Every structure is written in C-alpha cells, then in structure tokens.
Structure 1
Amino acid sequence: MNKNTTDTFHPMQLKISQADIGYEEILISGADAQLQSGEVCLLIGNNGVGKTTLIRSVLYQIPLLRGMITLGKKDVQELSVKEIAEHIAVVFSKSAIPQNYTVTDLVSLGKYIHYPFYFELSQEDKKEVRETIEDLGLQQYDTTLLKNLSDGNLQKAFIGRALTQNSPVIILDEPTTHLDEKNKIIILKTLRKLARENHKLILFSSHDWRLAKEFADKIWYIKDRKLHAGMVEDVLIQHHELTDPSMFNVNEHFKAPHITASPVHKEMLYSLLQKNSTADLSHLSFEFRDNRWNIDVKGSLYQCESFEEILSLVKTFH
C-alpha cells in the first residue's frame, strides 16, 4: 500500500474540547478527547447513545451545542465542505449504491476528490486503485456491478473508496457490520497498517469490540452522556462492564455461581448457564484447572471435561 509516503507526511490532530454533542437535546456532555496521526481509535457505546451523531459533528454535518472540534489547527466549522472532504475520508454503515458502477468504478471515485470529474486518472492512480482492491481481497469482483455484490463485499468496496481518497483522516461508521470474521480481520489489519505505515488517523465505530480492540490504540466509549477517552487497556480496566460477562445478562432470574477461570472460559460458562438455567446457582463454585472443571456443590465435588457434561450436571439441580 504505497500511499502518503513519509516525505509528504504532515501530522494531523483531531481534538474535541468541552463539547456538548446532540441535536436539540444533549447526547454527549462536556466531551474532551484527541487523536493523532498514526492512531487507530475504536468508538463504542450502546445503540442510541450518539456514536453516529459524534461522527457527524466531527464532519460538521451537525453543529455542536457547545465547545469546539478542531482538525489540524482549524475549527471544523471554519472548513468548507471541500476542505473537510480533502481532510477526511468517511464510510457510513448505510451508503447509497451508485447505479451501474463496478467495484473498480467505486474504488476509483476516491481519487476524484483531487480532480474535476472530467479528468482521466493517472497510471499511478490506477495502480493504487488496483492495489487497494487486492488488499481488500476484492480482485475477483473488480468488474462486478455493485448491485450484484454481497453486503460484505459491498461494504469492503466502499471502504476501498475511502482508502484511495488518501485523506489524512479516515472515519468509518460500523465498517465491519456485514462482514464475517475473516473479512473483519482483513479490514482491521488494513486500517492498522494504514495508521502505522501511512500515518493515517483512523476513527471507527463497532459493536465487535472484542475483535476490534486488538487493532485499536485508543477507545472512545460513550456512556451516561459522557465520552470516556483513552488508551484501550486503561478504558477497559476502568469500565468493568465492558469485560465482565454480566454485561450479557439476558436472564433476569439467573443467579450466577462463583467462577474461577480465565476470562474466556468464565464467559463461556456464564453464557451457557444463564441460557439454560433458571435455578439459583449462587451456592455453586466452578474452577477450571488442568483442562477440566471442578465443581463444588455444598461440599460435594464433581469434575466435568466439557460444557456438555456441565449442562447435564446442572440440570440435575433443578
């Protein structure tokens, strides 16, 4: 990916200062956060908390109720639509599909931000378009009409358009929504590579935070009308609901046992038990050790080697 080499690199900063974000009503109050070139930031929060509104505020599609957002050294409200487009490439989760466009046509559109539409792309531009299509694993669809693509490949094509735009900032709203695990990783690896090698500042929202956190440097977490911003690990440690299995509590009658295990095993067991039991299991203790589960039921000890065995045992307690 030969984009924006270091000799043409100009550092970019996105900064939010004491911002109230929303429409008539404040969704996020007193937000302070900043990102630099080379950083990947994951934007997370429940539906309706203001993730897309925050993104649209950065693009100055929605004015702030208070405070300031700066891009470089300029307030975004002082930038023209063209200047914002030159600085920021954006992919929304729902985008209009241009009629009769192929994958190559769409990815090439990213170059036209730099030219009038009647200009011919240079050979270097065309080479970059081909490389982007290959990086995203879309080469077999390069001449396919967009309307004939799967949702996942269509999303990748829109991301390809943003990448070829060569803007210093890339913002993506739920870019991995329609993708399977393999393609999510392709996208996230591509974004991280762009940040590291091409000094891009990348902000993307996602519900797949477990996977996404492996590729992000920073997190912006919206909760209780506040924006909690910082290093991924710091934010996760400060907000236990993001890593605690109880965040997935969908059974209000479930009373959990004590579980001693790695986070993955603990979460799998928690999920299994709450899906399949309405009994009070708070008197049970589960410990995963030496590849087996040791279960203490009021002093009686049991051992299970699989979740299937655990489920059979728990059913006898009902």
Structure 2
Amino acid sequence: MHLQVNQANIGYNKTLISNATANLNLGEVCLLIGNNGVGKTTLIKSILHQIPLLQGEIYLHGKNIKHLSVKEIAENIAVVFSKAVIPQNYTVEDLISLGKYIHYPFYFELNKEDRNEVSSIIEELDLLQYKDTLLKNLSDGNLQKAFIGRAFTQNSPVIILDEPTTHLDEKNKVMILKILRKLALEHQKLILFSSHDWRLAKEFADKIWYIKDNQLYTGIVEDVLLQHDELTSPTLFQMNENFVPPNIVAPYVYKEMLYSLLQKNFPIDLSLLTFEFKDYWIISHFKDNYQCESFEEIVTLLNTIY
C-alpha cells in the first residue's frame, strides 16, 4: 500500500474523524466525499502532516509521515487546495513551471525537457491561449486549471486535490477528471480528490472515502455506494417533507429528472400515480391513462389532477 491511514483520530481540538483506517495504491483514483464541515480538508492536511494526528499513524510508501521532511513530502505529494494564494505578476506558464521547483535549487532554469513538458500540459489543459496571461486576469475556472497544471508538472507519485472541479464548467470538469484518471492508469499515480458530488465516483473513481457521523467509510466505489442509501437514492435531494414519490419506470437519467421536477413542484403524496417512459411519458392515475411528450406537459397535467 502506498498510502495508509491506521486507526487515526483526525481533527483539531476535537476529533472530526474517529479511528480512521484506509489505504490506497499507486494507479488508483479515490473520491473523498462528505458534507461541509465533516473533515475532508482536515484529513488532507493530516496526510500532508500540516495538522498532527490526535491518534494513530499515516504512512507514505512505508514511511511514517511525521518522520518525513517538508521537502520529502513535496517530492511525494503534489497538492491543489480549493483556496490558494495567487502569485502576483505570474503568468499561467510561470505557475505551471513552478511544479519543477522541488527538483532544483532555489534559483533554477528549466531545461529543454522540462519546458516541453510544461508546454504539453498547458496544451492538454486547453490553456494555450492563456499561456502568457497574468493569473490575476484569469477566470476562476482557468485559474483552477493552472494550479492543477502545476501539480501535474511536479511529477510526484501522489496527487491530492481539494475540490478541484468547484469553479469548472461541465466541459472542463470532465476534461480534468479524464486527465486525472489517465495519469493514474498510464503513469501509476495515486489520485485522491475531494468533491461534494458523489456521482463523479461512478465514472472516474476506483475507490471512495466517505466521511459520515465521524467515521471514514472506504472501499470500492460500487460497494460503498450500495452500503449508504443516501448515496444512491434521489431522496438525497428531497426538499419537501410532504412529498411521496410515484412509481417511476424509466431509464435512470429520466427517472432522476422526473423525480427532481415532481418534488420541487408537487409537495404531496403522488404514490397513486405511475409514470412509464416509452419515448414519451405514460401517466396512470387509477383507471385513467395520460400521455405527455415533455416535462412541461406533465406539470400542466398534474395541476389539473391535483
């Protein structure tokens, strides 16, 4: 195991995560999830030894993290926090080049191989047109991609990202996650990234670390998802306590969209209804059947029924 957390109590003055035990190998992508304030960032900082453990141990490649120097940790772990200090008067190329800093003395000049690598990463992150743009003039999304680029050029075996997709639109979010997975599989990197969106795990992660009720639940994505109803049931998004869903027979994405529509607009008991999708919606209510081509038609229909 390349990264091991052994019976660790994690927190500041009080324990946020109790008796945590987990491990990850090179080549694996792990999604760290949990509600705000449960300790995701605190766990990341504990792995980096920026916060001492209250109990237990963390090992990196068989070495106790508390016995490693700051330089040794940096050589082994590249990290991107959701809130980072923006270097003044640095361009995108300058920032991404900084990933090479740990491999050189304080004053250094990139060699040809390094410059080619930086250029390749800039192009892969779709930042070529912003190569010479000052960081302070970038959008939040492109700034986030630049910081991720710096982590890539560091060439550390472990990359940890604290909510890396927060400021990204869907296109760039998918692009970053595909690159992370490619790095893990083709270059044997260990990728640990946090997010609020557990559904990312199904597409991009091998494992999940899930923080809930002061516990860290870990394992293969599909195992962890099925062990926690709130990670698979659309009731996670339910806002109306009086809403009782109907029976819905439809492909997953249509089912989820219909559920979202109904719980927002009809906070009532809909259990006597059945919705079935067959290129259009068939709605059954007692002995009556209705046909709707769109969600807008469904809303109109239900307003006449209820």
Q: Give the match for residue 162 of structure 2.
A: 173
Q: Give the match for residue 286 of structure 2.
A: 298
* Counterparts of 2:268 and 2:226, CA distance in 1: 31
Q: Give the match for residue 179 of structure 2.
A: 190
Q: CA deviation at 1:226?
A: 1.1
Q: Does 1:202 align with 2:191?
A: yes
Contact 1:206 1:212 in 2 (8 A): no
Q: Does 1:226 align with 2:220?
A: no
> Match of 1:47, SS?
coil
* Counterparts of 1:313 and 1:169, CA distance in 2: 54
Q: Does 1:317 align with 2:305?
A: yes
* Counterparts of 1:213 and 1:260, CA distance in 2: 22
Task: Specify which of 136, 140, 154 is matched with residue 151 of structure 1.
Answer: 140
* Counterparts of 2:267 and 2:304, CA distance in 1: 13
Q: Does 1:20 align with 2:9?
A: yes
Q: CA deviation at 1:104?
A: 0.5
| Cα RMSD, aligned residues only | 1.3
Q: Which amino acid aligns with 2:284?
A: D
> Match of 2:35, SS?
coil
Q: CA deviation at 1:238?
A: 1.5
Contact 1:21 1:64 in 2 (8 A): yes
Q: Which amino acid aligns with 2:252?
A: P
Contact 2:16 2:39 in 1 (8 A): yes
Q: Give the match for residue 93 of structure 2.
A: 104
Q: Which amino acid aligns with 1:295?
A: I
Q: Does 1:46 align with 2:22?
A: no
* Counterparts of 1:303 and 1:261, CA distance in 2: 14
* Counterparts of 2:65 and 2:12, CA distance in 1: 17
Q: Give the match for residue 270 of structure 1.
A: 259
Query: Normalising by the residue count of structure 2, what TM-score does the alignment of the two structures yield?
Result: 0.97
Of stretches 80-89 and 271-280 in structure 1, the one that deviates more from structure 2 is 271-280
Q: Taking every aligned residue pair, what percent have the same amino acid on both sides? A: 71
Contact 2:33 2:197 in 1 (8 A): no
> Match of 1:213, SS?
helix
Contact 2:81 2:163 in 1 (8 A): yes
Q: CA deviation at 1:25?
A: 1.3
* Counterparts of 2:20 and 2:202, CA distance in 1: 21
Aligned residues: 306
> Match of 2:203, SS?
coil
Q: Give the match for residue 48 of structure 2.
A: 59
Q: Which amino acid aligns with 2:259?
A: Y
Q: Which amino acid aligns with 1:123?
A: K
* Counterparts of 1:264 and 1:120, CA distance in 2: 51
Q: CA deviation at 1:210?
A: 2.1
Task: Specify which of 141, 146, 152 is matched with residue 130 of structure 2.
Answer: 141
* Counterparts of 1:276 and 1:54, CA distance in 2: 39
> Match of 1:28, SS?
strand
Q: Does 1:92 align with 2:81?
A: yes
Deviations 1:96-131 (A, max 9, x none): 000000000000000011111212111111111111
Deviations 1:259-292 (A, max 9, x none): 222221221111101111133212222222x222
Structure 2, unaligned stretches of length 5 or more? none
Q: Does 1:282 align with 2:288?
A: no
Q: CA deviation at 1:212?
A: 4.6
> Match of 1:214, SS?
helix
Contact 1:88 1:168 in 2 (8 A): yes
Query: Normalising by the residue count of structure 1, what TM-score does the alignment of the two structures yield?
Result: 0.93
Q: Give the match for residue 215 of structure 1.
A: 204
* Counterparts of 1:209 and 1:85, CA distance in 2: 28
Q: Which amino acid aligns with 1:300?
A: D
